[in-house]
Chains A and B, each alone.
Chain A
Amino acid sequence: MKEETPILEVKQLHTHFFTKAGVVKAVDGVHFDIKPGETLGIVGESGSGKSITAMSIMRLIPSPPGKIVDGQVLFKGENLLNKSEKQMRKIRGKEISMIFQDPMTSLNPVFTIEKQMVETILVHENLNKQQARNRAVELLELVGIPEARGRLKNYPHEFSGGMRQRVMIAMALACNPEVLIADEPTTALDVTIQAQILELLAKLQKELGMAIIMITHDLGVVSEVCDRVMVMYAGKPVEYTDKKSLFKQPKHPYTLGLMNSIPKISAKKEKLEAIEGLPPDLRALPGGCSFAPRCSQATEICLTTDPVLIEHGNNHHVRCLLYEEETEKVVSE
């Protein structure tokens, strides 16, 4: 593990949506940090608040109805939540970049990729058009697009899904960001293409040294590329540790459930155990632990007492009453 100071620290982040039907606590106490060159995984089922966490960091929460109601996002020690919109625009796409799940819809269909790449470069870098164009070609070559210069004038629909995601990555890396947030970058792609994209990201990280926040619902992806992991459930972090400890000693029943639902080649005959039940309604969270209704190990007390994130073992944080008697150090609340 690298012992550098974190480039990004998210502290007690709370992002809520104030809808007519009630307050949706989409992100409710997310807490993590990431060091330069490191890859942090954020894992959880769909709707657990992963994307909203990412959008909160970028300060791109649609408001109304969304609002970051509490917490800090420290980027190089400065709280992004105190920045003006103008200051944020200088950070987005330059210091913190993002790529998204669906490369089919994330590029603007009516502009050439040249226009879309060059405009990003021109907003952030002091280059002229020709230099920006050359830089775009360089980037496309970097992400492995064949005959890059000839493809500048192409429109997104003229690329395959995997190639489009490469274009997205090239665009995100245009200004050498220090943090790249990848929000389910391979979910929409074929399995073979998925592997290629993950490999590409790993290679680029080695070359360029940026930190990556890898958002995924797939523990398989985590096992391949992440250094550390935060598992999220219903807007809250439930387990937060390094990858090795997570796979060796998963603590939270939810994490265990996720692991049991990964298909294993060695256990072909065993039935895949998806976690039973559905994620809770974020507008009306049950009292107590929000996972309790689906938890096979839940007891009476879980339905009434909300656990806090505690450190249980070396740098292994878990939010579960099963571990609370042996509380060593409370890090949350």
Chain B
Amino acid sequence: MVKYILRRLVMLIPVLLGVSILTFSLIHLIPGDPAKSMLGEKSTESQLEQLREELGLNDPYIVQYGRFAGSILQGDLGESVKSKEDISIEIMNRLPATMELTVFAMVLAISIGILAGVIAAVKQYSWFDNLSMTGALFGVSLPIFWLGLMMIWFFSVQLNILPASGRISNNIELNSITNFYLLDSIITGNWAAFKDVLSHLIMPGVALGTIPMAIIARMTRSSMLEVMKQDYIRTANAKGLARHLIVFQHALKNAFLPVLTVIGLQFGLLLGGAVLTETIFSWPGIGRYVYLAVMGRDYPVVQSTILIIAVIFVIVNLITDILYKYFDPRISYD
């Protein structure tokens, strides 16, 4: 097992190399002069030259890439063209917010999606099955921004029961330890903050989690239906096991394998969804950060953020693969 993980980590090196080359190329693939598109049409030639000098855009690509890769390896992502702030620090400040939101959305999606999928499969063609699968079909096709805006309109504007933006209310004190606010409020036993943070998480969490929830529910249902037909389920029945043991142990552990693959993929895609969700709910994470950077043509920020997102994506995939092996004993580690 340890050997397997080590080997997978080694295999990450070429992947990360590829990712870094791609993000590096980004700035040069965009048509036109990068310096000009960052500073705008009205910039003077001397301003442009200064920026080119700053970013080293006059050097040969290979030298530029060497510098880019070298500083990444030292944890230095450069600085923002607009605010001159250190990008590494900015990202580290925002990453916990995004992670908290995506993990929350994913926990929501996985728990509700799997439960709905299992019940729908066990009670195939029942009203629950029909209702939840129709809901799931809508769920996958709902545009996040529409869902987000509708929730804000209904829960914040009409009913005024959920906050429309941010991670925490201004009047709430919270000692940050991990910068995962939900976790911090639990650690410090601060229940007022916990309630407040949770109320901030619900709408963006639902907006972000709906699509993966719908996909997970459908996948779980079809996987469960397949598994319930298997011979070993008949064996479990013939042994006199109770229904819940058969469904939630014997069937679900087998049915979970294809669902796990989907979860891994959706987790990666969630980071894309986070850009929209964070923008709608003014969530102070890297999704909103990259959105603002794109709008402001702050290429170094865009580059670095995409790199980070890609790295997270790769790591999530690695974790999925490792979990897969944990759940399926038939796969050998060699």
Residues of A within 8 A of B (CB): 58, 60, 88-94, 97-98, 100, 102, 105-112, 119-120, 123-124, 155, 157, 168, 171
Contact = CB atoms under 8 A, between A and B. Distances in A.
B329 A60 contact: no
B250 A108 contact: yes
Given A58-B238, A102-B231, 6 more contacts: A89-B240, A90-B240, A106-B232, A106-B234, A107-B232, A119-B241
B50 interface: no
A184 to B, nearest CB: 12
Given A102-B231, A110-B253, A123 B236 contact: no
Contacts of B329: 109-110, 112, 155, 157
The secondary-structure label for the interface of chain B is helix
Contact of B234 (A90, A97, A100, A171): A100
Contact of B330 (A93, A102, A157): A157
Contacts of A106: 231-232, 234-235
Interface string B225-248: 000001110111111111001000
B328 interface: yes
B333 interface: no
A112 B242 CA distance: 19
A109 B330 contact: yes
Contact of B238 (A92, A107, A110, A124): A92
Contacts of A124: 240
A105 B236 CA distance: 12
A123 B253 contact: no
Contacts of A102: 231
Interface of B: 230-232, 234-242, 245, 250, 253-254, 327-330
Which residue, A88, A89, A90, has most C-beta atoms of chain B within 10 A?
A: A89
B327 A110 contact: yes
16 contacts: A92-B238, A92-B240, A93-B241, A98-B238, A100-B235, A105-B232, A106-B235, A107-B232, A108-B236, A110-B330, A119-B241, A123-B242, A155-B330, A157-B329, A168-B235, A171-B239
B250 to A, nearest CB: 5
Contacts of A60: 234, 237-238
Contacts, number: 74
A203 to B, nearest CB: 23
Nearest to A54: B238
A93 B237 CA distance: 9
A100 B231 contact: yes
A190 B43 CA distance: 83
B228 to A, nearest CB: 10
B254 A92 contact: no
Contacts of B237: 58, 60, 92
Contacts of B230: 105
A109 B232 contact: yes
B245 A94 contact: no
A92 to B, nearest CB: 4
B238 A93 contact: yes
Contacts of A91: 240
Nearest to B232: A108
A256 to B, nearest CB: 34
B225 to A, nearest CB: 13
Contacts of A92: 237-240
A268 B234 CA distance: 41
A106 B231 CA distance: 5
A259 B238 CA distance: 32
Contacts of A107: 232, 235
Contacts of A109: 232, 254, 328-330
Contacts of B242: 89, 123
Nearest to B125: A64
Nearest to A122: B241
Contacts of B328: 109-110
Nearest to A112: B329
A15 B245 CA distance: 27
A189 B253 CA distance: 28
Nearest to B256: A110
Nearest to A97: B238
Nearest to A86: B242
A123 B330 contact: no
A14 B238 CA distance: 21
> Which are the 8 A-B pairs with shortest beta-carbon distances?
A93-B240, A92-B240, A93-B239, A105-B231, A108-B232, A98-B238, A155-B329, A89-B240
Nearest to A168: B235
A110 B254 contact: yes
B237 to A, nearest CB: 5
Contacts of A171: 239
Nearest to B250: A108
